[in-house]
Amino acid sequence: MNKIYLLVITFLLIGCSAKSPEIQFESLLDSEWLKIIEDNPVYASSMGDLSRNTEWSDTSVENVYLEHQHDLDILNQLEELDVGNFSEDNKVNYSLFKKQYENSIEGHEYKTYLIPFSHRGGIQLQHETTSVVPLRNKQHYLDWIERISKIDVLVDAAIVKAKIGIVEEIVPPRFLMQKVYKQIELQAFIDPIDSPFYRTFMEMDRSINDADVKEIQEKALETIKTKVIPAYVKLHRFFKEEYLPACRTSIGIKEINNGKEYYEFLARKFTTTNLTPKEIHDIGLKEVERIRGEMDAVIKEVKWEGTFKSFLDDLRTNPKFYYETSEELFESYLATSKRIDPELVKLFKVLPSMPYGLKPIPMESAPDTTTAYYQRPAADGSRAGYYYVNLYRPEVRPKYEIEVLSVHEAMPGHHLQIALAMELDLPNFRKYGGVTAFVEGWGLYSERLGYDLGLYKDPYSRFGQLTYDMWRAIRLVVDTGMHYFDWSRQDAINYFLDNSAKTKQDVMNEVDRYINWPGQALAYKIGQLKILELRTKAETELGKNFDIKDFHHEILKRGALPLDTLEKYIDEWIESKSI
């Protein structure tokens, strides 16, 4: 552990010993945030702290156990504090902070840290780190070169974990790891100049002079040749000879030791509720039935004379619903975002000061990832938020999804909510962290706001919105189906194709995402349903006194919250407005 961090902790502990429990708690918040920055150099770089701009995190299995012991120690300290006299804000901060450690400690027992690989990110796609670290001057580039020269340490740590996982039979599905294997091949068997790691050195900041560019590029090529590629060759060999043969042929997390109990934990963690997987599965079935009714109404409106299936087939195959080129698709995303932004004042009292931009998803991961995702701004304001869109195979990226996707990932969805939270007067763990059920619930709720923003005027765009709502309802069914019940991957794909207009490429990528990340997909629909429930309650009880801008402000002004805490605050707001 860093000596500076130890000195700070020692100072804080000595200073806090005679102080009130609330001051002790606030000091603990500060020291733990400092630890996060110290322990996560890439995250620190993305936040604007460049003190360890050449380092990676310690991902060794030994450090996993050290971190677990640290979590136990912090939880013990928290439980010894008397919170009775805390301010109301700090009572909430205490509850959220403590829950993080409780979740981490409970999750540790299932040992899924012994599965260090994912086809959606990680060691084999480490070049994508350049999307978050600063690369604005010569020293930044030299720091990045030094950082990637140490990638063998990350590879070795991953291999050690994976080998223990093999022994303890905690391994991922083989077919997902075959995707990782192909991604590793793109890093291992390539000329340095064609390496994904070199791409960032071909597009260097124009403010850097030619002589420095030449020096940096030569140093980068040498590092990629002698350090990066050999590390990936080693990883490739491990996969081929040891890991792939040992991976399981099953898909559900229930197949690992205590897997059903682990999934029950994940369901609670990601939804911030006590809903069981069976209850969530049933909610999904009901939502699928409801949305299907709304879809049938649109099909009737456009006077389609065939079946539901034939309508979906037409949406998936008719060229009129697709652009021919990636460039056209990207331009449409840009145009849609520009149309949305001026309309936001109709629904919101406060908008974030930080802008956002659009970028294509990198080509190495695009074939295996989802339609889009959002990347938060840098804490120091040096990087805007970004809405990443998938341009791989534009012939499977329908036009009618563009509006609904944009309101979810950018405005008024993730960018508005996350960028606003970063501007709030909150502890750092809340300002820069998140509660999945809130964050993704808000993103899905925002899709409904497209109607208020003048979108979905075309019936096919409305069907696109319904397709996305259906998509998240289906998640509840197939995620629980595969991980808790006895659904196969093909069962999940078929259920998706039978009930939504998502293209087969998207459906397969989505299903594989749920297999890779059990439980996370449950948060979206559960969070959305709670926000919609609270809005309906406010509209009903406040009547003509209901103001949509005020409601949205109340939802967003405290950052991301567990759903029960959010409900408490909205109930208090409704009561105050009713007086």
Domain annotation covers residue 98? yes
Percent helix, percent strand, percent coil in the chain, to nearest 5:
70, 5, 30
Q: What is the mean pLDDT of residues 348-377?
A: 90
Domain annotation covers residue 108? yes
Q: What is the mean pLDDT of residues 70-92?
A: 97
* Structural domain harbouring 272: 263-527
In whole angstroms, give the CA distance from residue 159 to residue 299. Answer: 52
18 band by pLDDT with thresholds 50, 70 and 90: low
Residues 164 and 235 in one domain: yes
Task: Yes or no: say if 405 and 361 are a contact pair by the CB < 8 Å rule.
Answer: no
Residues 298 and 244 in one domain: no
Task: Yes or no: say if 105 and 71 are a contact pair by the CB < 8 Å rule.
Answer: yes
Q: What is the mean pLDDT of residues 60-67?
A: 98
What are the φ and ψ backbone dihedral angles of 375, each rounded to 5 degrees? -120, 125
DSSP string, 525-545: HHHHHHHHHHHHHHHHHHGGG
10 band by pLDDT with thresholds 50, 70 and 90: low
Residues 312 and 336 in one domain: yes
451-463: pLDDT as tens digits: 999 999 999 999 9
* Range name among 37-46, 87-96, 271-280, 368-377 with the lowest pLDDT average: 368-377
Residues 388 and 267 in one domain: yes
More confident call, 388 vs 505: 388
345-358: pLDDT as tens digits: 999 999 999 999 99
Give pLDDT, residue 63.
98
523-547: pLDDT as tens digits: 999 999 999 999 999 999 999 999 9
251-291: pLDDT as tens digits: 999 999 999 999 999 999 999 999 999 999 999 999 999 99
Give pLDDT, residue 50.
95
Residues 188 and 214 in one domain: yes
Q: What is the mean pLDDT of residues 152-177?
A: 98
Q: Is the pLDDT of residue 16 over 80?
A: no
Q: Is the pLDDT of residue 471 over 60?
A: yes
Domain annotation covers residue 508? yes
Residues 246 and 307 in one domain: no
Domain annotation covers residue 8? yes
Q: Give me the helix-helix angle, 548-556 and 522-542, nearest 10°.
A: 140
Give pLDDT, residue 13.
52
Q: Is the pLDDT of residue 106 over 80?
A: yes
Q: What is the mean pLDDT of residues 96-100?
A: 97
Average pLDDT, the chain: 94
Domain annotation covers residue 226? yes
Q: What is the mean pLDDT of residues 44-51?
A: 92
Q: Is the pLDDT of residue 4 over 90?
A: no
In whole angstroms, give the CA distance from residue 85 to residue 130. Answer: 45
Give pLDDT, residue 366.
86
Residues 368 and 488 in one domain: yes
Give pLDDT, residue 433.
87
Residues 194 and 215 in one domain: yes
Torsion (CA) 450, 455, 458, 462 in degrees, nearest 10: -10
Give pLDDT, residue 223.
98
Chain-centre distance for alpha carbon 269: 15
Q: What is the mean pLDDT of residues 362-390?
A: 88
In whole angstroms, give the CA distance from residue 201 to residue 221. Answer: 9
Q: Is the pLDDT of residue 381 over 90?
A: no
Give pLDDT, residue 578.
81
Task: Yes or no: say if 205 and 134 are a contact pair by the CB < 8 Å rule.
Answer: no
Q: Is the pLDDT of residue 301 over 70?
A: yes
Task: Yes or no: say if 466 and 312 are a contact pair by the CB < 8 Å rule.
Answer: no
| Amino acid letter, 40 | N
Q: What is the mean pLDDT of residues 186-206?
A: 94
Q: Is the pLDDT of residue 9 over 70?
A: no
Q: Shortest CA distance to 268 belongs to which of 418, 108, 102? A: 102
Domain annotation covers residue 576? no
Give pLDDT, residue 218.
97
509-527: pLDDT as tens digits: 999 999 999 999 999 999 9
Domain annotation covers residue 381? yes
Number of domains in the chain: 2
In whole angstroms, give the CA distance from residue 260 to residue 485. Answer: 9
In whole angstroms, give the CA distance from residue 236 to residue 184. Answer: 6
Among 224, 253, 282, identify where a domain stops.
Answer: 253
Residues 390 and 457 in one domain: yes
551-577: pLDDT as tens digits: 999 999 999 999 999 999 999 999 998
In whole angstroms, give the CA distance from residue 531 to residue 337. Answer: 24
Residues 333 and 276 in one domain: yes
Give pLDDT, residue 12.
52
Give pLDDT, residue 8.
52
206-246: pLDDT as tens digits: 889 999 999 999 999 999 999 999 999 999 999 999 999 99
Among 210, 232, 253, identify where a domain stops.
Answer: 253
Q: What is the mean pLDDT of residues 104-110?
A: 98
Give pLDDT, residue 2.
54
For tokens 């969805």, the residue is 413
Q: What is the pTM of this model?
A: 0.91
* Range name among 62-76, 159-173, 221-235, 308-322 with the lowest pLDDT average: 308-322
Among 206, 229, 253, identify where a domain stops.
Answer: 253
Q: Is 543 left (phi over 0), alpha (psi -120 to 50) or beta?
A: left
Domain annotation covers residue 408? yes
Q: Shortest CA distance to 555 belongs to which of 531, 523, 528, 524? A: 531
In whole angstroms, give the CA distance from residue 110 to residue 257. Answer: 8
Residues 249 and 267 in one domain: no
Residues 296 and 318 in one domain: yes
For tokens 């849609």, the residue is 336
122-146: pLDDT as tens digits: 999 999 999 899 999 999 999 999 9
